[in-house]
Amino acid sequence: MVALGDSVTAGGPCDCTTFPTLYAQKVAYARGIHTHVQNLGVNGEDSAQLLSAVRGSSSTTAAVRGAAIDLVTIGANDFSDQHDAVTGGRCLADDSTACVDQQLASMESNLEGIIDAIHQLRAGRPTSVLVTGYWNVFEDGAVARKAFSDDGVRATRRLTALVNDGIRRAATHGGATYVDLTVPFIGPRTSYDATSLLGPDGDHPNAAGHQLIATRLLAAGLPGLAPG
């Protein structure tokens, strides 16, 4: 297995076992097989940087070429420049999405390219590509409620829904499997409080959050691989 993505994949500030390792353990137990995972998550990585990595001649391409299971979590950092405008309620406060339209289109295109590059590197061998969404591309839970206005909190939720829609479309178009994390973290109508699943920064998952992500990935199965 290989895990690609941003600080969520890398583990961020969480001094805990990350979800790729937990997922590999769960797959090994569930299927009675030996698993090995390379976690290539990079703090701060965006979709353009990951696309460059999987298309380049590097350790990333070698890892992907040898992995039957690919975990991908990418896209949140594409919107870092809009953080203050979104959380301040100035972007996405109304029906217009103009403030993020360009980033949304680029992210979706880049992710389609990432998935296509994975399949090209695998050269027709059975491969399962699992692509996660986000519970929030910015801070959530108690940290967000304290730092942002109500409009800002709503705007982060709206941006996250737009990002996840783009991720889902790219995954479907590329023959990958989309794994939703919004409902597990914050409920079907944002009725849950994600605080207990997040670290002190309100942005990255804590140990319980990583366990939950691994569990959701396991539940997605392994489309693209032979059963057994």
Question: What are the tens digits of pLDDT across the range 144-192?
Answer: 999 999 999 999 999 999 999 999 999 999 999 999 999 999 998 888 9
Name the residue ranges covered by the structural domains of the chain: 2-219
Helix (H) or strand (E) holding 24: helix 19-31
Q: What would the mean pLDDT of 4-26 be, rounded to a whole number?
A: 97
- Rounded to an integer, the average pLDDT of 41-48 is 98
Q: What is residue 94's predicted lDDT score, i.e. its pLDDT?
A: 85
On the CB side of 179, CA atoms within 13 Å amount to: 23
The C-alpha torsion from 180 through 111 and 49 to 81, rounded to 10°, is: -70
What's the confidence (pLDDT) of residue 191? 84
For position 55, what pLDDT does the model report? 96
Q: Report d(CA 75, CA 189) in Å as an integer.
A: 22
Q: What is the pLDDT of residues 78-115, one digit of tens each?
A: 999 999 999 999 999 888 999 999 999 999 999 999 99
In the predicted model, what is the mean pLDDT of the chain? Answer: 96
104, 173, 206, 214 from 12: Cα distances, Å? 23, 29, 9, 16
Mean pLDDT, residues 112-128: 97
Rounded Cα distance, 142 and 191, in Å: 14
pLDDT of 226 above 70:
no
Burial label, 96 (beta-carbon count in 10 A; 0-12, 13-18, 19+): exposed
pLDDT at 228 over 60: no
Q: What is the mean pLDDT of residues 32-36?
A: 94
pLDDT band at residue 71 under the 50/70/90 scheme = very high
Distance set, CA 168 to CA 47, 68, 130, 132, 213 (Å)? 14, 21, 11, 9, 17
For the entire predicted model, the pTM comes to: 0.96
On the CB side of 177, how many CA atoms lie within 13 Å of its CA? 18
DSSP-derived secondary structure for 162-220 = HHHHHHHHHHHHHT-EEE--HHHHH-TTS-S-GGGGB-TTSSSB-HHHHHHHHHHHHHT
pLDDT at 206: 98
Is beta strand 128-132 parallel, antiparallel or unpaired with respect to 69-73? Answer: parallel
User: Percent of the chain scored above 70 by pLDDT?
Assistant: 99
The band of 50, judged by pLDDT with boundaries at 50, 70 and 90, is: very high
| Model pLDDT, residue 45 | 98
Residue 227's pLDDT band (cuts 50, 70, 90): low
Q: Which CATH class is domain 2-219?
A: alpha beta
